[in-house]
Every structure is written in C-alpha cells, then in structure tokens.
C-alpha cells in the first residue's frame, strides 16, 4: 500500500490539527447522530491518543466508540482527479463518514486504510468528515482482549499486554489525489549479484489501476546525485547496478526508484509518477549468522514503544528524531517495533539513517498463562474456540498482510516478527502458527521471520521454533527469575542459551532483557529497582551473550519507561527504560554506551 506522496501528478493535503470530538455511548453501537455536525465543546489534536488529553476519567477509561470530526475542502484544482481519505491509524477500529454517508471501515489499530470519495464530493466543495474510532479489543482482534461488565454496570477493557491501551487517531489523516490512471502498488526487492558485493540487483513489480502496454511504464533508478544508473520498462523487471553503493547499517545510501506511467501518444506526457527510496542490500541467514550484505551483523538496540506523556501513542516527529539521536549516542544500530507496526515516518527515518528494524505485528497477548501466572490462577487453554480461535487467526492473517503491504519496500526492515510471546508451548500453537508462517513466506520470500519466545516456553517445551529462521528470546534472568541474585541468574541464562544453541544451530537475538529501575534510586548492594542493579544486570547478560556463539544480537527492554494499564506491580507504568519517559538517561545508559560504541 503506497504512502501518499506529492509528485508532479499527485497532491496531498494534511488533515492534522484540531478536530471536534465526542464520546459515544457505552456499548458497541455506532451513534449515527454523531456524524451530524458536532459541538466544538470538546476538541482534540490529531495525531494523538485521546486518553490523556483531557482530565476526565470518563474519557480516559471509555470503552467503545468516540467521534472525531472536522470540515474539509476538496481543492478546486482536483476536478477530473480521483481523491481519497487516508487514515494512517485508527486504534483499533475506524469508520469513515463523509457528510453522514458511511464510506469505509477498518479493524487493526496500527496500519493505514483509505477510501475513494470522488463520487461523494465535487472538487472545490466542503464536506463534513467524521471518523468514528473504537478502542474495543475482543478475542476476534489483534491484539486480543475482552470487555468485562463490572457489578456497577461499567464496562472495562481487559487485555493481556503490558502497554496501556491508548486509542484514537494517533497518526496523520490525509486527503490526496491521483490521476484517473494511476500507480496502485509497487514492490521492490534488492539483492547482490555476487559475493564480492559490487553489483546490486533491484527487482520491481508495478501494479497499475488499468493494464497498460509495457512501453507505457517507465522505471528509472537515480543515485543520490540525481544521475540515472539503470532504466527499464514494463510492470516488472530486474535492474542491475554495477559498483552499487550499498545500504549499510549506520551508512545508508538511498537510490530513488521512479515509476512513470506514460501517455500513449507521447512519452513526454507523464500520466502518473511515484518514487520509492530504495536501499540496495542483501539479507541472509546462514548457520548461526545473520548476514547483511554478506557480513555478519550483531543487533544492538532496544525494544521500544510509541509512548510519551500526554500524546500517548501519538506520532511526534520531535520525539522520534530525539529517540534516534539517543540511540545513536548509545551506539545502538537497531530496534524492534514492539509490539505493533510503528508510524511509517519512523521507518522512513530509519531508512535514511541506516538503522536496522525488526518489524512486528500487533499480535501480543496470545498467551493466557502470563496473566494467570501474575494472579496465581489456573490458566485456561490459550488456543480454544472461546479464547484464541479461528477468528483471531483470521485477524492475525490480515495484520500480517497489512504490515507487509505497507512496509515491504523499506530497506531498514530486515526481519518480520509475527508475534510476541505467544503460548508457544501449548499444543494449539502448531495449528495456529503453521498457516501464518506459510502466509508470511508467500507474502515476502525475501526476508527471514521470527517470533519472540517467552520464558514459560523454554527449549524443551516450545513447539514452534523450528518453523522460524531466527530465534528471538525474551529473558529476564535477574529480574522475574533469580531476582537480586546475579550469580544464579548468570548461570541460568548461560545454561538456557546454550540449550537453544545446541538444539537449533540457528542465530539467537535476545529481543528482551532488562530490569525496572526507579530513576534516582541508588544502592551499593544488588537492590532491585535501583539504577545500579539495572546496570549490573545488563552487564551480567552481556557477559553471557559474549560467551554463546549463536547470540547475534541484544535488544534491551525497554528504550524508555512507558505507560501500562493500572496494575499493582507497576508504579505509574513500566520502568524498564534505559531512559525515563521524558528521555533522561538512567545509569544503565553509560553501560550500553560503553559496550555498543565498540565495533561489532
């Protein structure tokens, strides 16, 4: 799915800003009256989650639909074009209305959707745009959840993941136009032709709104100086680039792949034009190594969250650039989009600056044993008709399709993570994951795949790791296990990682390791929650990572403290950040800076 882009043939209007806002009723019904002009009494910024904007628990804890509304004018110059409303994210369900006419709906809170509204409004006209957004999670959604009705009649959203269920229009909304005949989709896959790594391959496939003769699709690859280095025609082909500049971690080089649809009687007349920033690089998993451009790559960095005070999960370019600066300061070369696809702007920035990304779906919480473990209750089976079932699996398939459709052309994305900490030791996991693995490989045969395994499913209990290319392990030795005893933790971590290496002979990335720490709490001894203990725990893990050959990466959990749902074992959120929520470094930052700034 192409991100809207202003080009010589396309225009784009941002609908970000202040929108009118209303709360829906306390059920799952859409209130059609809310698509009539709303009073401006409540107004919200877009993009932002709405929860922490107001000081009203009724809004923060609302379960169901809310309504966003604003007036929009279609530019008068768009006569004869096709125009679309595009919503970058509506968490978790969105319904779009143009002057009360229902236009489209979408489930999945972290991927975009759009609708052609050309037939509904004429160029030059103003219309009332309403977007209804529901935050409800059920066993049919990804991530899954359950709405509980309390004794006092109040509805409460339950879910199995640790981060707060922020909702709303957390990313941009656009009105954009394309010509009548237009480029619908482009897929770009790159590789290196030889082991010496000098000849780059760029394979492309273009889908147009109507079938065109070969000669009418022209594709040109420009280097960073603006020179054409390869050219071709037709909807699919393979370009070869001699002495290619490679996209390298920390040293990105971006070519521009320009696609043009030409008029039938003159090649000088361009009907549509679209450009894809293209990094030439190869990815391969070989034995226990992860090869980027033929060279073993060691991942250093973080599992992150899109999370900040007030705006919740709202995209904020200032926070984004600052986070990248902090990662660079530490010597981090990569991060994981835990636990959902991030705003596309984040991937564009990573492409431009050579930061490697593990791209994750929102399939988090597919494990009923974790919550049961916390409350000391007996866990129901995770995979059953009443719990994670065929409908969840359908939603998961859709989430994979949308993730790959959106992110397939980003050179920074080197690995698809299809789920976080599922119940991979329960029998139902095989039947659940087999079709998902197959689908992911069909959708993108060019990238390896993984899931994040959790501690309840060690090597002798996990049933699905053989289906994946890279083993990703989330491990909290020294925190949830052997708390305060780093000697025991070190031995146990080493034993466990050695076991995985012996059984699979595959590369291992430690996709989560870390400890909570309260900024400002200091201790001489190994006192959990102190800044020193967090640092010493990370150092302990690093000693083990260095001793196990298969370990090819480490992502600390988490980059920054983040908001969680109200729980007694969280104090104003999860405090495993190496930075506080407002991005002040804790002592652990020094440990990482020292370690990661030496070359890997």
Catalytically active residues are: 421, 512
Cα distance between residue 410 and residue 348, in whole Å: 7
Please state the closest distance from residue 574 (CB atom) to ligand BDP, in A: 5
Q: Which is nearer to ligand BDP, 52 or 512 (CB)?
A: 512
Q: Minimum Å distance from CB 363 to ligand BDP?
A: 12
Cα separation values, 542 from 163, 392, 494, 538, 553, Å:
26, 37, 11, 6, 10
Pairing type for strands 126-134 and 93-98 reads: antiparallel
Q: Are 85 and 129 in contact (CB under 8 A)?
A: yes
Q: How would you list the strands of the sheet with 82-87, edge to edge? A: 11-14, 173-178, 82-87, 113-116
CB of 421 to ligand BDP, least distance (A): 5
Whole-angstrom Cα distance, residue 298 to residue 56? 46
Q: Cβ of residue 511: shortest distance to ligand BDP, in angstroms?
A: 8
The residue (of 161 and 406) whose beta carbon lies closer to ligand BDP is 161
In the chain the first and final C-alpha atoms are separated, in Å, by 35
Residue 323 CB, shortest distance to ligand BDP, in Å, is 18
Would you tell me which residues interact with ligand BDP (CB under 6 A)?
Answer: 162, 339, 420-421, 454, 474, 512, 557, 574, 576
- Could you tell me which of 342, 321, 11, 319 has the C-alpha nearest to residue 163? 342
Q: In terms of Cα–Cα distance, which of 493, 581, 584 is closest to 539?
A: 493
Q: Which CB, 170 or 454, lies closer to ligand BDP?
A: 454
**Residue whose CB is nearest to ligand BDP in the complex, by number:** 162
- Which residue do the tokens 């991942």 mark? 299
Q: How is 253-312 classified by DSSP, letter by letter?
A: --EEEEEEEE-SS-TT-EEEEEEEEE----EEEETTEEEETTEE--EEEEE----BTTTB
Q: How far apart are CA 410 and CA 89, in angstroms?
A: 19
Smaller CB distance to ligand BDP: residue 410 or 555? 555
The DSSP element (H or E) to which 347 belongs, if any, is: helix 344-353
Phi/psi of residue 374, nearest 5 degrees: -65, -40
Angle at the Cα of 51 (from 50 to 55), degrees rounded to 5?
Answer: 105
Give whichever of 477 and 557 is closer to ligand BDP, judged by the CB atom.
557
Q: To the nearest whole angstrom, how small is the minimum distance from the Cβ of residue 557 to ligand BDP? A: 6
- Closest to 451 in 3D by CA, of 506, 370, 517: 506
Chain center to CA of 321? 17
């Amino acid at each position: 799915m192409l991100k809207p882009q202003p080009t010589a043939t396309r225009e784009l209007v941002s609908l970000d800003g202040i929108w009118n806002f209303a709360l829906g009723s306390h059920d799952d019904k859409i209130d059609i009256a809310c698509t009539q002009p709303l009073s401006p009494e409540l107004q919200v910024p877009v993009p932002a989650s709405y929860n922490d904007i107001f000081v009203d628990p009724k809004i923060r804890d609302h379960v169901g639909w809310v309504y966003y509304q604003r007036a929009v004018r279609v530019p008068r110059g768009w006569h004869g074009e096709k125009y679309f409303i595009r919503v970058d994210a509506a968490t978790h369900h969105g319904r779009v209305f143009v002057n009360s006419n229902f236009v489209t709906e979408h489930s999945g809170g972290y991927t975009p959707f759009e609708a052609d509204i050309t037939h509904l409004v004429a160029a030059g006209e103003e219309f009332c745009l309403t977007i209804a957004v529901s935050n409800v999670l059920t066993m049919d959604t990804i991530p899954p959840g359950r709405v509980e009705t309390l004794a006092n009649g109040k509805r409460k959203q339950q879910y199995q993941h640790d981060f707060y269920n922020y909702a709303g229009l957390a990313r941009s909304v656009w009105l954009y136009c394309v010509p009548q005949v237009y480029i619908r989709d482009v897929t770009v896959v790159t590789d290196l032709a030889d082991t010496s790594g000098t000849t780059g391959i760029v394979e492309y496939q273009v889908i147009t709104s109507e079938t065109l003769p070969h000669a009418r699709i022209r594709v040109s690859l420009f280097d960073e100086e603006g020179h054409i280095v390869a050219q071709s025609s037709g909807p699919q082909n393979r370009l070869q680039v001699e002495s290619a500049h490679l996209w390298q971690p920390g040293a990105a080089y971006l070519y521009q792949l320009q696609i043009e649809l030409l008029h039938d009687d003159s090649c000088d007349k361009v009907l549509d034009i679209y450009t894809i920033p293209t990094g030439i690089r190869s990815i391969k998993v070989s034995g226990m190594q992860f090869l980027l451009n033929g060279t073993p790559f060691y991942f250093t960095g973080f599992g992150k969250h899109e999370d900040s005070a007030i705006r919740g999960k709202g995209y904020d370019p200032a926070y984004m650039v600052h986070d990248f600066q902090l990662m660079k300061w530490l010597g981090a070369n990569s991060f994981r989009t835990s636990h959902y696809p991030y705003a596309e702007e984040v991937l564009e920035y990573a492409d431009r600056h050579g930061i490697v990304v593990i791209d994750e779906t929102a399939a988090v919480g597919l494990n009923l044993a974790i919550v049961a473990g916390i409350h000391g209750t007996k866990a129901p089976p995770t995979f059953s008709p009443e719990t994670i079932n065929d409908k969840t699996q359908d939603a998961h398939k859709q989430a994979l399709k949308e993730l790959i459709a959106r992110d397939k052309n980003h050179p920074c994305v080197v690995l698809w993570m299809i789920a976080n900490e599922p119940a991979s030791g329960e029998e139902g996991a095989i039947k659940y994951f087999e079709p998902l693995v197959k689908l992911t490989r069909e959708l993108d045969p060019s990238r390896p795949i993984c899931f994040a395994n959790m501690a309840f499913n060690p090597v002798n209990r996990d049933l699905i790791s053989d289906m994946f290319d890279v083993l990703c392990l989330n491990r909290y030795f020294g925190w949830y296990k052997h708390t305060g005893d780093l000697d025991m933790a070190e031995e146990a971590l080493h034993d466990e990682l050695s076991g995985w290496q012996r059984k699979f002979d595959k590369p291992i990335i430690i996709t989560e390791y870390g400890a909570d720490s309260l900024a400002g709490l200091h201790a001489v001894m190994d006192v959990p929650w102190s800044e020193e203990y967090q640092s010493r725990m990370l150092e302990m893990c690093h000693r083990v990572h260095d001793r196990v050959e298969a370990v090819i990466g480490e992502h600390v959990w988490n980059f920054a403290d983040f908001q969680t749902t109200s729980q007694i074992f969280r104090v104003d959120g999860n405090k495993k950040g190496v930075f506080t929520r407002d991005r002040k470094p804790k002592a652990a930052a020094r440990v990482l800076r020292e370690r990661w700034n030496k070359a890997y």
